[in-house]
Amino acid sequence: MPAKLASIRERARVLLDGICHVCPVCDGRRCPTGVPGMGGIGTGASFRNNVTALAAWQVNMRVLHDRKDQDLGLRLFGQKLAFPILGAAVAGARVNFQGRVSEEELARAFVLGAAEAGSLSLTGDGPLPELMDAGLKAIKAAGGRGIPVIKPREDGEIVNLIRRAEDAGAVAVAIDVDAAGLVNMTRAGQLVEPKTVDQVAGIAAATSLPLILKGIMTVADAEAAVAGGAAAIVVSNHGGRALDHTPGTAAVLPEIAAAVGDKIIVLADGGVRSGVDVLKMLALGARAVLVGRPLAVAAIGGGAAGVRLQLEALADDLAVAMRLTGCGDLGDIGPGILKKGW
């Protein structure tokens, strides 16, 4: 680990005392808090399953080949990205981080750090208006290089928030449909609900921005997203923070990508901690991956510079993993580089 990144993590460990141990291996086994906080919901099984599902895949090393240079670049939502690693939506600083960082500081760190690294970050939503406000403000400051995530609110309210995203110049907009049962929203008297295909279609038709549905864990929901006209899905269990005892995302990603990967952009998150983990997700069918907790630690400890350094470290690790598996560019990455673990 680069010395600067190590010092950023150490600073985050101090600032997050009692919230997150900043463990050497972030697998949910020693989390001091669940939800709110940095851990998983209930027993934490869904969080841990994300990590173990990725660990179940091994990588076939190949070093006799002509793929000597690695190109990590891609285009996504009309943007040229330096690598297929995006910031996930991490928000709720007052609740999840006990106010030790402000919502604006958190959003700016994610969005501006990702933009400086040549990528994109998502921003969050929640019962307090400051979450959406901070995210949109950061996206506007980054020249639109960001994607706001809206809770599955009443349809008209979602469209109103999409208008604000359009005004901020966002490159796309997302709905985290896996937040349909979040207690913090219902306790605040704010409606969140599952969405029908017709509702998705109506929302997609209301904007020219690409619509992303985050929280897809089954082929049936993926096919419903396609039918509703979504531009992309994120295979995600909300970082293990929405429903206990769900599978890890890497366990369900292959069947979802096989079913709809030629019809819709498939993204994924959950348990990604290294460039090798990114490589695995790409090989399992994701076009790009979202990273949450590692970037949250980097943001708390180092702001936008910390997020940029963490993303660049992941990208460097991915480049090495590609070279050692015979992959010159992202198009070379496929299921053939993986082997199911014992």
Active site residues: 238
DSSP 337: G
Q: CA 329 → CA 69, 83, 150, distances in Å?
A: 8, 10, 33
DSSP string spanning 101-136?
S-HHHHHHHHHHHHHHTT--BEE---SSHHHHHHHH
CA distance 282 to 314: 14
DSSP 210: P
DSSP string spanning 301-332?
HHHHHHHHHHHHHHHHHHHHHHHTBT-SBGGG
CA distance 74 to 69: 15
CA distance 231 to 290: 16
3-class secondary-structure state, position 164 = helix
Is-contact 237 217, C-beta < 8 A?
yes
* Preceding omega of 127 cis (within 30 degrees of 0): no
Count the neighbouring beta carbons within 10 Å of the beta carbon of residue 141.
Answer: 17
Q: HSE of 166 in the Cβ direction (CA atoms, 13 Å)?
A: 12
Q: If phi over 0 gives left and psi between -120 and 50 gives alpha, with beta otherwise, what is residue 13?
A: alpha
Is-contact 184 238, C-beta < 8 A?
no
What is the DSSP pairing of strand 232-235 with strand 79-81? Answer: unpaired
Q: HSE of 29 in the Cβ direction (CA atoms, 13 Å)?
A: 7
Count the neighbouring beta carbons within 10 Å of the beta carbon of residue 17.
Answer: 12
